Chain A
Amino acid sequence: MSILVYAEHDNETLKTETNKLVHAASAAGDDITLLVAGSNCATVAENGAKITGVSKVLVADNSVYEHQLPENIADLVVELASEYTHVFAAATTTGKNFMPRVAALLDVAQISDIISVESADTFTRPIYAGNAIATVQSSDVKKVVTVRAAAFDAAGNEGNASVESVGSVIEAVKSSFVSAELTESERPELTAAEVIISGGRGMQNGENFALLNGIADKLGAAIGASRAAVDAGFVPNDMQVGQTGKIVAPQLYIAVGISGAIQHLAGMKDSKVIVAINKDEEAPIFQVADYGLVGDLFEELPKLEAAL
């Protein structure tokens, strides 16, 4: 088995998802090549070469790959794919964007969002918002797989792989990057955080999310949100946790003023410890919480901040 793993990065930093991807890939085979596609991404490639289990790093470093547009990235991956039995990428908005194109161009199915590798051709994945787990076996010639990083441990950084550059320069002719509005934050990223505190509609407005800041500071936590809080404009879209937002599994997840709809639970119920703070003792979030505190968040949050 030879596996092409697509590195998750933003041209500057290699994301921890990549270490998790490599760990997942190592269960399917031991010949692992990491592809770093981007622009001015040499440091990312160097760091990729250190991931334990990676035998080779391919770097496609060219301005045409700067924004990792799906049209040309998919073509690049397809061009390289002939040498491999598997292609793995993270189930992030980057991986979800280009990988189905790779699968379609290779005329194979894609297995989305796997949470375990049972063997080189058999995987498990959540369906129906995580209310069922499907075990699927692919008889396609190549397996094109996206990985739910939160479900895997991270491979270490004790490797020393060779780095080779890829010459192909493929332009995206029908699409172009216009602009990006990225959320700046000093806090850890949601998908990498050990502790997350999330607010829901119960927070009432965006200003009240400040009540979570002091607690997040003390715990080194990332701040998340329910869909209702995002839809209402309290916080930006990249904070949404859930079936159709980010899937997280931190050591500690604190849900504040969140009712616990199926779609929200789908994104956080694999957290190690769940705390819920809600004034309604009947709220479904309490059914998955290890520790439930029934109370008014406007009274409890300042107390929590003081107690930490």
Chain B
Amino acid sequence: MKILVPIKRAIDYNVKVRVKPDNSDVDLTNVKMAINPFCEIAVEEAIRLKEKGVATEIVVVSIGAKAVQEQIRTGLALGADRGIHIETDAKLDSLQIAKLLQKVVDEEAPELVILGKQAIDSDNNQTGQMLAALTGMPQGTFASEVLVADGKVNVTREIDGGLQTVALDLPAVVTTDLRLNEPRYASLPNIMKAKRKPIDVKNAADMGVELASKVALLKVTPPAQREGGVTVASVDELVEKLKNEAKVIA
């Protein structure tokens, strides 16, 4: 079976982003970028399915400017077989991303699409669910376990109350949560090999998808800063302050 893994280039998770002084957006100049952590988990899951003999081919796809090819190469170095780059400089919403991915699904006909549950920049948590709706596929979001058997995939999901398992007909969409797996590092020989794997580049504007967004970003501001606190010397002082100063305990 073929697995499609959409991956996003995003800010490295260790970086604390700053807002531009003119409040037009966040400042990403010279900021370290990486593959979105949840997408890394998605690639890893696809590779494990291939190692188990469940999957036969893994295609990674990324939408964005030229630079996203770095993340596609990372996916190839980790073990994906080929890449697709849908090139655009436009800032797209999850809806447009999902529509472009729908075109890729139409063409590639994967049996499983594994996405991250959320991009850590937009914090949207939308694309996988939208793609599932547009393609008429069932979905298993926030996955902590994925089992493929007999034309179905069983997905165990991390939900607010605990865990839930659903059974989905294939083809299906899965989105990853943190506990699904621990991604491997790419080995040097695999990084070298990845340089020879093919990346097919398409222009987003030629894919028959309306790319204009209906959501305007009016401004971006820093969050309210917390006032610096005090250090207390003992538990007794802490309890006294919580009672009499902060008045949050009786």
Contact = CB atoms under 8 A, between A and B. Distances in A.
Interface of A: 10, 67, 69-71, 74, 92-94, 96-105, 107-113, 122, 125-140, 172, 174-183, 191, 195, 219, 227, 230-231, 236-238, 243-244, 246, 251-252, 262-263, 269, 272-275, 281, 286-294, 300, 303-304, 307-308
A100 B230 contact: no
B202 interface: no
B188 interface: no
Interface string B142-157: 1010000000001001
B129 A100 contact: yes
Nearest to A292: B231
Given A92-B160, A136-B217, A178-B165, A110 B126 contact: yes
B94 A109 contact: yes
Interface stretch (B52-60, B113-121, B189-197): B113-121
Interface residues of B, number: 83
Contact of A176 (B123, B167, B215): B167
Main secondary structure of the interface of A (DSSP, over half): mixed
A255 to B, nearest CB: 12
A291 B218 contact: no
Interface string B194-235: 000000000000000000011111111111001111111011
Contacts, number: 263
5 contacts: A96-B129, A138-B215, A178-B165, A236-B162, A246-B160
Contact of B120 (A104, A129, A140, A307): A129
A273 B154 CA distance: 42
A128 B121 contact: yes
A96 B26 contact: no
Given A128-B17, A134-B217, A273-B248, A308 B133 contact: no
Nearest to B14: A262
Interface of B: 11, 13-14, 16-19, 26, 38, 93-95, 98, 117-118, 120-134, 137-142, 144, 154, 157-169, 172, 177-179, 213-223, 226-232, 234-236, 238-239, 241-242, 246, 248-249
Nearest to B246: A273
A275 B230 CA distance: 10
Contacts of A236: 162-163
Nearest to B121: A128
Given A100-B129, A105-B133, A139-B216, A172 B164 contact: no
A182 B117 CA distance: 21
A101 B133 contact: yes
B217 to A, nearest CB: 6
A294 B138 CA distance: 50
Contact of B164 (A139, A180, A304, A308): A180
A49 B166 CA distance: 32
Contacts of B163: 180-182, 236-237
Q: Which 10 A-B pairs have the closest CB atoms?
A: A100-B129, A101-B133, A104-B130, A175-B138, A100-B126, A174-B138, A290-B229, A178-B165, A182-B162, A104-B133
Given A178-B166, A252-B248, A308 B239 contact: yes
B220 to A, nearest CB: 5
A179 to B, nearest CB: 5
B138 A71 contact: yes
A133 B220 contact: yes
B10 to A, nearest CB: 9
